[in-house]
Amino acid sequence: MLAVHGGNTEEIARKYNLNSKEILDFSANINPVGLNENVKAAMINAIDKVVKYPDITYFDLKNSIGEFEKLDISNITLGNGAAEVIFNIVRALKPRKALLPAPTFSEYEEAIISVNGEIEYYKLKESNDFNLDDEFINKIKDDIDIIFICNPNNPTGCLTKKEFIRKVLNKALTTNTTVVIDESFLDFVKPNELYLSNDLLIDYKNLIIVKSLTKFFAIPGARIGYGLCSNNEIINEINKVIVPWSVNVIASEAIIQGLKEKDYIDKSIVYVKNEKEYLYSALKEIDSLKVFEPSVNFIMFKLLIDLDLKSELIKRRILIRSCDNYIGLSNSFYRVAVRTREENNKLISEIKNILFDK
Ligand SMILES: Cc1ncc(COP(=O)(O)O)c(C=O)c1O
């Protein structure tokens, strides 16, 4: 069974006999500013390169990422999306037991299961708005080989401070545990110095950071992501399991260009911040919703009445993410992406129509 994710508009269109282009997709968390024009041009230009294999060392791409992250290229591992990087890490390290907060992004669990690893879940508490707390650190024991922390967490939006991560890393050093921090959405937060783990990399050889490039640059169909680690042994183990040429030339050229687009990057951060606040305030005004404070381009809420909101919205050609398959949540929880003002207004008015009709 494949894990359930947002963004499956084709599958939903087939199920409900709709045209996928008619569906307004709030289920995948993609930068609402959309594809940058220069990135698009770079991808179109890259078409001529498909007759050759990508540079197997990805020298130019790694240099662009290295410059962006202010890190040596030997610390970078690439993948066909952050999802592949997560699987590469797990296949390389073959953890026997993992500690995962719940709810969180499901591919950590999928990756651990793929190597027959055992999982201990740390249930985040709704009473604490699903934030990580010190009790989590007490769960790091000698038998835990790997920990994943999603920062900010998908789907809750909770941010974890770097100082908490430092405490996790210190405890993990005593138990020989590798700590993976997934910062796939952290570039949407500015300033983010309080949360970024990047400058812990040199001191902590048990730290791996994972980042997706598909959310921010609005290229989920092109697939590209990376991992960062200063421990040569871990990078070497990952290199042993990497599928050669797994990043295609089109995605690679898109990112080499994208990381240069400072105006687009700054504009996206401001746009997402404003629309997130707008959508959050509007949703909070609806009595039957309990809305959790968002940090980036998605918002989780709990529906306080008994209703299948996802099915009701799909009748109106709007797709949202039901959180029913997240461990630690139930079918009362939903996640919506932050989109453009017009689209956000459409979502708000359709939710109100449905709930006020009840
Ligand atoms: C927290 C998190 N990490 C990683 C990924 C995978 O991203 P990619 O498209 O780069 O594989 C996702 C996708 O939803 C995600 O939410």
Render pLDDT for 149-207 as a digit per residue (tens, 0 to 9): 999 999 999 999 999 999 999 999 999 999 999 999 999 999 999 999 999 999 999 99
pLDDT confidence of 15, banded at 50, 70, 90?
confident
Do 43 and 353 form a contact (C-beta atoms < 8 A)? no
- Alpha carbon distance 226, 84 (integer Å): 9
- Alpha carbon distance 55, 60 (integer Å): 9
Q: For residue 296, what are its two tokens?
A: 């980036």
Q: What CATH architecture is 37-258?
A: 3-Layer(aba) Sandwich (3.40)
Helix or strand or coil: residue 145?
coil
Q: Verify whether ligand 1 is closer than 6 Å to residue 182 (CB atom).
A: yes
Q: How open is the CA angle 320-322-324, to the nearest 5 degrees? A: 175
Every domain of the chain with CATH number 3.40.640.10 lies at 37-258
Q: What CATH architecture is 9-30+262-357?
A: Alpha-Beta Complex (3.90)
Q: Verify whether ligand 1 is closer than 6 Å to residue 33 (CB atom).
A: no
CA of 28 relative to ligand 1 center, distance in Å: 10
Query: 225: buried, middle or exposed (CB in 10 Å: 19+, 13-18, 0-12)?
Result: buried
Tell me the per-residue pLDDT of 71-106, one tens digit each, with 9 for 90 and over: 999 999 999 999 999 999 999 999 999 999 999 999
Q: Verify whether ligand 1 is closer than 6 Å to residue 87 (CB atom).
A: no
CA of 294 relative to ligand 1 center, distance in Å: 17
Q: What is the DSSP track for 113-137? A: HHTT-EEEEEE--GGGTT---HHHH
Q: Whose alpha carbon is nearest atom 7 of ligand 1?
A: 82
Q: For residue 118, what are its two tokens?
A: 């055992």
- Alpha carbon distance 206, 234 (integer Å): 9
Every domain of the chain with CATH number 3.90.1150.10 lies at 9-30+262-357
Probe residue for ligand 1, chosen from 8, 30, 107 as the CB with the greatest number of ligand atoms within 8 Å = 107
CA of 158 relative to ligand 1 center, distance in Å: 16
224 Cα nearest atom in ligand 1:
10
First to last CA, the chain: 35
* Res. 1: pLDDT tops 70: no
pLDDT of residue 166: 98
Tell me the per-residue pLDDT of 291-330, one tens digit each, with 9 for 90 and over: 999 999 999 999 999 999 999 999 999 999 999 999 999 9
